[in-house]
Structure 1
């Protein structure tokens, strides 16, 4: 369940450096700023001995991943994790299981003399102090963390403030926000054709991109609000691409399904290295589109609204019904007769007019008498860095 964007501030460092104390204080300071936060001590979710095969990290990572949906349901947006790690491979054990979470690994360090004093002040296992100092020296030669904070001479409160100040400007998971182009518009405006052409052009230039048609991830039956079956004359286009004249809840069940599946599929693409997402949507107003992408962290959304005249829409609908377009499962135009196609065209014109009146979209694109390749190049020039 990815309905709340979540970032993890992971404090690491040698035993005695103050990970748990600073982590708890950072958690307290974050919550005082009005951000719903949580704190987890990595040791406390991995107490299973003898250590399972692979050491403690696999079980801690699995347990943390299993806890995240519960934190999200509670509205948590930032989680502070205290736990030792000392290689990038160990960090990867966690991030691979949680690709949609923004991890920032912060290594705490302190001078050897102060580390020894802090360790002994705990009054627990003084025989381990030499090992902790050696561990600290070894950590100074690592590069697994996103940043290092020197806590020498600082109180717990000062350390937490410094950590939060140093991490405030770090990007979300995956670096800079990923561009998301959502193509909207009336039925037959060319959303799938243009969206897939943008995707194809990006791939040809070497940019790893992803493409999603929301209709293919939002098929739900029986249709909400008692809508008639697909292909019936009453409404040949029922489904995730319903227009602005839908029922009072605007097919809320379908929208929730699309939002959840979109976040889940994009998380998989993002984990595979995708830098951009192209979405072919429906004739939706901006507030519906933004609600669908709200669960997705770390994105930069541009709504590209395609517009065409009623005559162009009617002609494209006839061509599509006749098979002169890519054949996708669930295309309700296939097999309709002339009268039903006229009604679909009339509805499409109404969708276009409603979107025009609302001024929907960040980028409005006329598609009459323009090839998909030309429109795609136009969109890339104005909305993408590649």
Structure 2
């Protein structure tokens, strides 16, 4: 009988502009340079970015999950042992679709939070057009409220006054991936 190998999957959720991609980048760098843990990062916002989206799926979520399955298969074949996914996940159904796309997925969900004014300041610093800015400001407030009610996360990490590298190290500790992988700091090997 073939047993499926467990795949630790870190899903970083939170409203738009909260720092999910920056946290994922920081985690990836730490896993690579400090622990040499084979991993992959798939930003679902990027792999579902296509225009126009179908009317029944305005955020292209289904495309994102299909692309996740294809991309993960390639990363796995190249030796990735765990996966980091920064993306807005709004339901347990979405988390189940990650599990379908990544066979053996053991999903650990981290929700990033910050006061709305801090989140909005970050959005103002990155959006290029007035229409995009207004949409993201409205959407961030909506998502922050919805995600707080749904409580999909295992842990919450406040990002208000922390650098991405500090956020990344905090998440790595709480996720337990170093212990799972049996790694110590790279200088110890």
Shared fold per TM-score greater than 0.5: yes
1:278 CA displacement: 0.7
- Which deviations, in whole Å up to 9, do the C-alpha atoms of 1:126-166 show, x marking residues without a partner? xxxxxxxxxxxxxxxxxxxxxxxxxxxxxxxxxxxxxxxxx
Deviation at 1:284, TM superposition (A): 2.5
Structure 1 residue 219 and structure 2 residue 49: aligned? yes
CA–CA distance in 2 between the matches of 1:360 and 1:379?
A: 16
Of 319, 342, 355, which aligns to 2:147?
355
> Cα 1:216–1:297, aligned 2, differ >3 Å: closer, same or farther?
same
Does residue 207 of structure 1 match 2:41?
A: no
Cα distance, 1:252 vs structure 2? 7.4
Distance in 1 (CA, whole Å) between partners of 2:59 and 2:16 is 21
TM-score for the superposition, normalised by structure 2: 0.84
CA distance, structure 2, for counterparts of residue 375 and residue 216 of structure 1: 22
- Residue 71 of structure 2: which of 243, 265, 277 is its match? 265
Q: Which consecutive unaligned segments of at least 5 residues does structure 2 have? A: 179-189
1:186 is matched with 15
CA RMSD of aligned residues (A): 2.1
Question: Which structure has the highest helix share of the two?
Answer: 2
In the alignment, the residues of structure 1 paired with residue 111 and residue 27 of structure 2 have an alpha-carbon distance, to the nearest angstrom, of: 14
Count of residues paired in the alignment:
177
Match of 1:314 among 98, 103, 120: 120
TM-score by length of 1: 0.43
Preserved CA contact (<8 Å) 1:178 1:298: yes
Superposition pairs of residues 29-178 of structure 1, within 5 angstroms: 167=1, 171-172=3-4, 176-178=5-7
Summarize the alignment of residues 346-385 of structure 1 with structure 2, pairs less than 5 Å apart.
346-385=138-177
The alignment partner of 2:101 has SS state of: coil
> Aligned in 2, Cα 1:340/1:177: closer, same or farther, shift over 3 Å?
closer
- Of 90, 94, 97, which residue of structure 2 is paired with 1:291? 97
1:256 to 1:354, Cα distance in 2 relative to 1, 3 A: same
Q: Classify 1:259/1:283 alpha carbon distance in 2 versus 1 (closer, same or farther; 3 Å).
A: closer
- Whether the 8 Å contact between 1:213 and 1:280 is mirrored in structure 2 is yes
Higher RCO structure (Cα 8 Å, ≥6 apart): 2
Match of 2:186 in 1: none
Checking the alignment, whether the CA contact within 8 Å between 1:286 and 1:303 is kept in structure 2 is: no
Whole-angstrom distance in 1 between the partners of 2:95 and 2:18: 17
Q: Which deviations, in whole Å up to 9, do the C-alpha atoms of 1:192-244 show, x marking residues without a partner?
A: 0001111111011211111111122112322222xxxxxxxxxxxxxxxxxxx
- Asked which structure has the greater CA Rg, the reply is 1
Note if contact 2:99-2:106 (Cα within 8 Å) is conserved in structure 1: no
Q: Which runs of 5+ in 1 are unaligned?
A: 1-166, 226-248, 322-333
Q: By how many angstroms is 1:283 displaced?
A: 5.1
Shift of residue 373 of structure 1?
A: 1.2
Q: Is the 8 A contact 1:183 1:304 kept in 2?
A: yes
Distance across 2 between alignment mates of 1:253 and 1:370: 29
